[in-house]
Amino acid sequence: MDPNQTVGENYANPKTCFFHVLFKAGALAFYILSALFFNSFVIIFVVTVLLAALDFWVVKNVSGRILVGLRWENEINDLGESVWKFECLDQESLARMNKKDSWLFWWTLYLTAVAWIFLGIFSLIRFQADYLLVVGVCVSLSIANIVGFTRCRKDAKKQIQQFASQTIASRMSSTIQSAFSVV
Amino acid sequence: MSHGDTVPLHPSSQSDIDEIENLINISAHSSVLPAKPQSPPRASIPISSSPFISSNIPQPSYQPQQQQQQSKPKPQSQSLPVPPVLPISNISPNSNGMSGFGSPVNTLTEPVWDTVKRDLSRIVSNLKLVVFPNPNREDPGKALRDWDLWGPFFFIVFLGLVLSWSASVKKSEVFAVAFALLAAGAIILTLNVLLLGGHIIFFQSLSLLGYCLFPLDVGALICMLKDNVILKVVVVCVTLAWSSWSAYPFMSSAVNPRRKALALYPVLLMYVSVGFLIIAID
């Protein structure tokens, strides 16, 4: 078996956790430190927003799947309506998810959003509209991910409850059927 | 399943899981892949690539599972109200009969490279649908079905960069203004259509307006490389017409026919102003 899992103390997916944190920290660090090195706003903007967009993609497509087993999509169906689709792993895989992984996932998600909002307030106070633009883009990306994954998690819990009650109902009915068939 | 000893499961739930397994084995008769990658103790992404799944197969070939209480209703509101047979939520309509678990496992456990390829091909196909002539243009709902914002993002940033490079002074401001103009313009144009009583989805329209910037991107690039004024005017006019032509069907079919002009005029105005920006930059 996997020694990491039985110990339960280490991260089960260290590489994914690393990437999950890398782009977030990179975007924040670059934004904060860039004033020291670059005069040009364009570079700051493009690199920060690029890192934030990469982070969004990584969280949505890779670390969400691996660390917490959730995935959200928004698609348009045949009627032309917007439909949110949530996918999650089955219950036993979810139960097997490393606690540390998911703790890291959720906490970094919330913390980055808070950090960007804080930086936004900062640049608002200094009346720097163009930096506010950068922060605005990054905040909206973080919040999109938070909203998507929170809804996905709620949906997953609901589905698990539904499934549990269905299973109980079906087991009861099959028990009753078998009892009657014996008779 | 067989690794139940790693997780402290209640004994009754273990038998539930065995029952589910039996159901899967019975019902997954046309599985191309094994029903589940052989229960890795942690959710690892398999190295081998899984088959390429396009994300919008309209007709679900959903296996009627034994425990399914009702057939899948047409998706009405926010989330698909599909009762899960197995403890996987929301069997999405692109279950193509791969396995008893349906496609959620396939998109959840697909290798990362597959996701990248899928997203890239989505961008390319969206671009081709929007900008180049193709038979689907008359039905806008179908054309930009799986919208994405990556394409528009790259095009807007690219246009801003090109304009900023072409400018000899105030480069940062040019970039910021171009980006803000395009982003805010797209949002406002979408709001305009919505307020006119049109039927359009916010992100779909943002995505469309972003993709329609592609011709202007090309025009701006040409203008940056060649500095002749006449050439610039000609190129900008051509690309402007191309952009407006690609945006036309989607915008016009989204609103009441009597209000077509009201919806289209601001779009035209925005592209004309971007065109002027391209010409006027020195």
> Residue B271's pLDDT band (boundaries 50, 70, 90)?
very high
The pLDDT of residue B66 is: 38
Residue range A26-55: average pLDDT? Answer: 85
Q: What is the DSSP letter of B79?
A: B
Is pLDDT above 80 for A42? yes
Q: Do A89 and B93 touch (CB under 8 A)?
A: no
Asked if B99 and B34 count as a contact pair (C-beta separation under 8 A), the reply is: yes
The pLDDT of residue B70 is: 38
Is pLDDT above 60 for A21? yes
- Residue B201 parent element (H or E): none
Residue range A32-61: average pLDDT? Answer: 85
Task: Give the count of beta carbons closer than 10 Å to the beta carbon of residue B50.
Answer: 18
Strand partners, B113: none
Please give the Cα distance from B130 to B209 (Å, whole number): 9
Q: What are phi and psi of A96, to 5 degrees?
A: -85, -5
Best CA proximity match to B203, nearest among A57, B195, B211: B211
Please give the Cα distance from B141 to A112 (Å, whole number): 36
Residue A79, both tokens: 């009627």
Task: Give the count of beta carbons closer than 10 Å to the beta carbon of residue A180.
Answer: 8
Give yes or no for A7 touching B (CB within 8 A): no
The pLDDT of residue B14 is: 58
Give the residue ranges of DSSP H helices in B109-259.
Answer: 112-131, 140-143, 150-166, 171-195, 202-211, 214-225, 229-254
Is the reported ipTM for this assembly greater than 0.85?
no
Best CA proximity match to B42, nearest among B7, B83, B78: B7
Helix, strand, coil shares of chain A, percent, nearest 5, are 80, 10, 15
Q: Do A13 and B79 touch (CB under 8 A)?
A: no
> Residue A65's pLDDT band (boundaries 50, 70, 90)?
confident
Residues 120-139 of A with CB under 8 A from B: 129-130, 133
Kindly identify which residue of chain B lies nearest to residue A39, measuring between CA atoms: B172
Q: Do B176 and A41 touch (CB under 8 A)?
A: yes
Is pLDDT above 60 for A23? yes
Domain hosting B261: range is 123-281
Residue range B79-107: average pLDDT? Answer: 39
Please provide the DSSP assignment of A122-145 as one string.
HHHHTT-HHHHHHHHHHHHHHHHH
Give yes or no for A181 touching B (CB within 8 A): no
Domain count, chain B: 1
The pLDDT of residue B21 is: 63
Residue range B75-94: average pLDDT? Answer: 38
Name the pTM for this structure. 0.68
Give yes or no for A99 touching B (CB within 8 A): no
Residue range B221-243: average pLDDT? Answer: 89
User: In Å, how far from its chain's centre is CA B42?
Assistant: 30
User: Which residue did the predictor score with more confidence, B181 or B9?
Assistant: B181
Please give the Cα distance from B271 to B40 (Å, whole number): 53
Please give the Cα distance from A86 to A98 (Å, whole number): 21
Burial of A6 (0-12, 13-18, 19+ CB in 10 A): exposed
Q: What is the pLDDT of residues A133-182, one digit of tens each?
A: 889 989 999 998 999 888 888 888 888 888 888 989 999 999 999 988 88
Domain boundaries, chain A: 14-178
> Residue A37's pLDDT band (boundaries 50, 70, 90)?
confident
Residue B180, both tokens: 């803000």
Q: What is the DSSP letter of A46?
A: H
The pLDDT of residue A1 is: 46
Q: What is the pLDDT of residues A100-132, one digit of tens each?
A: 788 888 889 999 999 999 999 988 898 888 888
User: Which residue did the predictor score with more confidence, A26 or B29?
Assistant: A26
Q: Do A98 and B42 touch (CB under 8 A)?
A: yes
CA distances from A13 to A55, A66, A71 (A): 17, 8, 17
Residue B186 inside a domain? The answer is yes
User: In Å, how far from its chain's centre is CA B165?
Assistant: 30
> Residue B127's pLDDT band (boundaries 50, 70, 90)?
confident
Residue range B103-130: average pLDDT? Answer: 77
Residues 34-63 of A with CB under 8 A from B: 40-42, 45-46, 49-50, 53, 57, 61-62
Residue B197 inside a domain? The answer is yes
- Residue A72 parent element (H or E): strand A70-76
Q: Do B90 and A95 touch (CB under 8 A)?
A: no
Kindly identify which residue of chain A lies nearest to residue B177, measuring between CA atoms: A130
Q: Which of A115-119, B49-53, B180-184 has the lowest mean pLDDT?
A: B49-53
